[in-house]
Each structure stands twice: as C-alpha cells, then as structure tokens.
C-alpha cells in the first residue's frame, strides 16, 4: 500500500483487512453514529450488518468489504464492487469521530486505489457521493477523482478516476 503518513506522532500506516464476524458490533456502532448515518442508511439490527457487510462479501467475489486500519486501530470502513466491466465502484466512511475531518480521506482513498488498480482488468474507479457531502467530494478530488460527464442520478455526483497509463 502507500507510504506511511508522516505526522507529529511519527509514521502511520494505512491498511485494509477483510471485514469479519467479529467486526459487526463495531460496524453497527459506526453506522448508527449520526455523522455516518447522515450519508449511509443505518442498519435496523446487528443481524443486518452481518448480512450486508460480512456474508455478502463472503458470497460474492465482485463485492469486497474491509475495515480501514490506521496502524492497528480500526477507524473506518471501505468497500468495492465490480459490475462485470472494467469498472470498480467504492464507498467508504471514517467511523471513529477522532479521525474524521483530519485530512485522512484522500490518503485512504489513494491507498485503496493501489489495490483496486492492482487488479489487471480494472481500468476505472467510480464513486457517487451526495452533492451535499462536500467533504467527501473534496477528498475524492484530492485523490484524483473528477466529475464524470455522465450524471445518471441527480441525488449523487458521479466521479471517476482512470488507471494511470503504464
């Protein structure tokens, strides 16, 4: 993955690990946090988290679900999904309040894109944040995403980044 972040506290490493059953309580609490629930639909129960984020990832190779780790500390969630073409979509949130609005978003996204574009068949990555989620839009732009010429849904902003020429 990408170079460790240099901070006042030293170097921090961003990593991603697959979501496991043991993460369901943490995911549930993050998704119910008002700062996350503003942009993500809160789950009705922990069982819904298991079905939507753990079992779905285990049953479908086109859907991947990860916990974002800053060093060893879980701070958020990221997922990717393929549509059978050369495109992958991603979604993410920082679940821990202390790490939101700290400038980590673009670094997390760039680091995850290294994995996405490490898959030879993938040529493009898309995201579709709400037009009101200006913080997310800014983080995606800093990570290299640009607004797509296509805007199929007025409730979202379709953004894309293509694999760099080799």
CATH number, domain containing residue 15 = 3.40.630.30
For 27, phi then psi, to 5°, come to -60, -40
Q: Is the pLDDT of residue 129 over 70?
A: yes
Q: What rounded mean pLDDT belongs to the chain?
A: 86
The answer to whether the beta carbons of residues 156 and 140 sit under 8 Å apart is: no
Which residues contact residue 23 at a Cβ distance below 8 angstroms, ignoring those fewer than 6 apart?
53, 54, 67, 74
The boundaries of the domain holding residue 26 are 5-162
Domains identified in the chain, total number: 1
Nearest-angstrom CA–CA distance, 136 and 65: 19
Selection from 60, 58, 77 nearest residue 69 by Cα: 77
User: What span, in angstroms and rounded, lies between the C-alpha atoms of 50 and 19?
Assistant: 10
Contacts of 32 (CB under 8 A, 6+ apart): 42, 43
pLDDT tens by residue, 10-67: 567 899 999 988 999 999 999 999 999 999 999 998 888 888 887 776 666 788 899 9
């Amino acid at each position: 993955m990408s170079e460790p972040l240099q901070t006042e506290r030293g170097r921090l490493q961003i990593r991603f690990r697959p979501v496991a059953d043991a993460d369901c309580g943490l995911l549930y609490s993050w998704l119910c946090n008002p700062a996350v629930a503003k942009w993500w639909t809160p789950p009705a129960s922990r069982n819904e988290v298991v079905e939507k984020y753990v079992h779905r990832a285990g049953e479908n190779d086109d859907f991947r679900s990860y916990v974002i780790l800053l060093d060893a500390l879980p701070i958020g969630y990221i997922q990717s999904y393929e549509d059978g073409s050369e495109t992958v979509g991603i979604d993410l949130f920082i679940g821990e309040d202390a790490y939101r609005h700290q400038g980590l978003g673009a670094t997390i996204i760039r680091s995850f894109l290294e994995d996405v574009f490490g898959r030879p068949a993938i040529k493009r990555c898309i995201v579709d944040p709400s037009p009101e989620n200006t913080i997310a839009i800014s983080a995606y732009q800093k990570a290299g995403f640009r607004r797509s010429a296509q805007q199929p849904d007025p409730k979202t902003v379709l953004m894309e980044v293509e694999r760099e020429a080799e």
